[in-house]
């Protein structure tokens, strides 16, 4: 039976507990990112926020910051140790605007080798190992640089059994991402397509789910994009059609202003899903088992490194 690879080492899937599948704990975005609200650099604030998450029942987060967006494996290890929250960190790259300088001069196999090294040996000389693989596309397009990352992600997946977790821009290109990974031998059951609640369209979600892929409903609490009552309606409809075990919930809180722990009355923070969104789903008729599938069983299944 495979294990789950956290920043502190491997754990049994049954030890994972309530998990958000797409968050950011520490980010050091490149200088080209002029909106500095996106720089989440305080270990003290992260420790506070993850302590609140733990108090609310949360036990694990997948930290989806890749190298080209300023990943910080040593900080993650320290924060995990202090708060007791399992953190799974990622290898791979972000969308074209970020990954191009890192990928342009390198072959697909060289990119795959780096991913495999980060999963099996560790990130640089930190000793921290990645537990998921990230690949990303742009708005309505998969650029040549992004395609290289997807193909490399597939090869790294075939070697390590790690989940491929994607970024879609505004929810677009989900089916194209799946097709591309499939053409490299990835089964859709080992893909988590991110940010689908940017495209709150039941037919679209159904089409993704029918392939066998998993859906990231990971903008919860960001009502400036979509109101949460719409997310609730879609989740209920998907669960009623039998797709509930392919849904993952998260908030992708990648700004200091999304966390109360940075001061300034920011929100919704990492407790929102547990203390507001899940009770709302329960009130609307999802049973405990259906809820626990989305936050416990499915994350454990997806994060387990498949035997290869």
Q: Does 16 bind Zn ion (CB under 5 A)?
A: no
What is the nearest approach in angstroms of Zn ion to the Cβ of residue 284?
A: 27
Q: Residues 121, 23, 17, CA angle at the centre, nearest 5°?
A: 80
The span from the CA of 80 to the CA of 86, in Å, is: 6
Residues 171-190 that bind Zn ion (CB under 5 A): none
Closer of 117 and 199 to Zn ion (Cβ)? 199
Closer of 165 and 290 to Zn ion (Cβ)? 165
What is the nearest approach in angstroms of Zn ion to the Cβ of residue 138?
A: 15
Closer of 149 and 239 to Zn ion (Cβ)? 149
Closer of 66 and 260 to Zn ion (Cβ)? 66
Closer of 29 and 188 to Zn ion (Cβ)? 29
Tell which one of 252, 256, 277, 295 touches Zn ion (CB under 5 A).
252
Q: Does 46 bind Zn ion (CB under 5 A)?
A: no
Closer of 62 and 108 to Zn ion (Cβ)? 62
Q: Does 64 bind Zn ion (CB under 5 A)?
A: yes
Closer of 23 and 114 to Zn ion (Cβ)? 23
Residues 191-250 that bind Zn ion (CB under 5 A): none
What is the nearest approach in angstroms of Zn ion to the Cβ of residue 135?
A: 13
Q: What are phi and psi of 192, to 5 degrees?
A: -115, 115
Comparing CA positions, the residue from 90, 92, 29, 94 lying closest to residue 61 is 90
Residues 266-305 that bind Zn ion (CB under 5 A): none
E-strand stretches of 52-116? 60-63, 86-92
Which residues 6+ apart lie within 8 Å of 86 measured at CB? 4, 6, 8, 11, 15, 16, 17, 19, 59, 60, 61, 80
The span from the CA of 272 to the CA of 237, in Å, is: 22
What is the nearest approach in angstroms of Zn ion to the Cβ of residue 254?
A: 5
The single-letter DSSP state of residue 216 is E
Tell me the number of residues near Zn ion by CB under 5 A: 2
Comparing CA positions, the residue from 275, 276, 250, 262 lying closest to residue 48 is 262
Closer of 21 and 64 to Zn ion (Cβ)? 64
Residue written as token pair 């999304």 = 258
What is the nearest approach in angstroms of Zn ion to the Cβ of residue 253?
A: 9
| Cα separation of the two ends of the chain | 11
What track of x and - describes contact with Zn ion for positions 136 through 165 (by CB under 5 A)?
------------------------------
Q: Residues 173, 176, 178, CA angle at the centre, nearest 5°?
A: 110
Interacting span for Zn ion (CB under 5 A) from 138-146, 169-177, 230-238, 252-260: 252-260
Which residues 6+ apart lie within 8 Å of 161 measured at CB? 2, 190, 305, 306, 307, 308
User: Taking the mean position of all CA atoms in its chain, how far away is CA 36?
Assistant: 22
Point out the residue whose Cβ comes nearest to Zn ion: 252
Q: Tell me if 63 sits within 8 A of 87, measured CB to CB.
A: yes
Q: Which residues bind Zn ion (CB under 5 A)?
A: 64, 252
């Amino acid at each position: 039976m495979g294990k789950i690879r956290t920043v502190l080492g491997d754990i049994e899937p049954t030890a994972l507990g309530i998990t958000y599948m797409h968050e950011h704990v520490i980010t050091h975005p490149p200088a080209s990112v002029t909106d500095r609200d996106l720089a989440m650099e305080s270990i003290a604030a992260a420790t506070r926020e993850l302590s609140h998450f733990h108090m609310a029942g949360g036990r694990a987060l997948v930290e989806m910051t890749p190298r080209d967006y300023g990943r910080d494996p040593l900080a993650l290890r320290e924060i995990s140790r202090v708060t007791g929250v399992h953190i799974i960190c990622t290898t791979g790259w972000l969308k074209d605007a970020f990954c191009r300088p890192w990928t342009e001069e390198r072959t697909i196999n060289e990119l795959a080798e780096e991913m495999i090294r980060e999963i099996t040996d560790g990130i640089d000389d930190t000793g921290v190992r990645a537990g998921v693989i990230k690949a990303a596309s742009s708005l309505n397009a998969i650029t040549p640089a992004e395609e290289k990352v997807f193909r490399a992600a597939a090869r790294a997946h075939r070697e390590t059994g790690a989940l491929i977790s994607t970024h879609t821009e505004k929810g677009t290109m989900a089916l194209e991402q799946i097709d591309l990974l499939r053409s490299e031998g990835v089964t859709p059951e080992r893909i988590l397509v991110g940010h689908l609640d940017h495209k709150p369209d039941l037919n679209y979600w159904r089409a993704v789910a029918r392939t066998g892929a998993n859906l990231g409903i990971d903008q919860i609490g960001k009502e400036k994009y979509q109101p949460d009552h719409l997310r609730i309606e879609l989740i209920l409809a998907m669960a009623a059609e039998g797709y509930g075990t392919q849904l993952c919930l998260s908030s992708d809180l990648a700004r200091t202003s999304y966390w109360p722990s940075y001061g300034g009355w920011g929100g919704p923070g990492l407790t929102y899903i547990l203390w507001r969104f899940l009770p709302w789903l329960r009130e609307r008729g999802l049973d405990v088992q259906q809820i626990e599938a989305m936050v416990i069983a499915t994350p454990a299944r997806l994060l387990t490194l498949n035997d290869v």
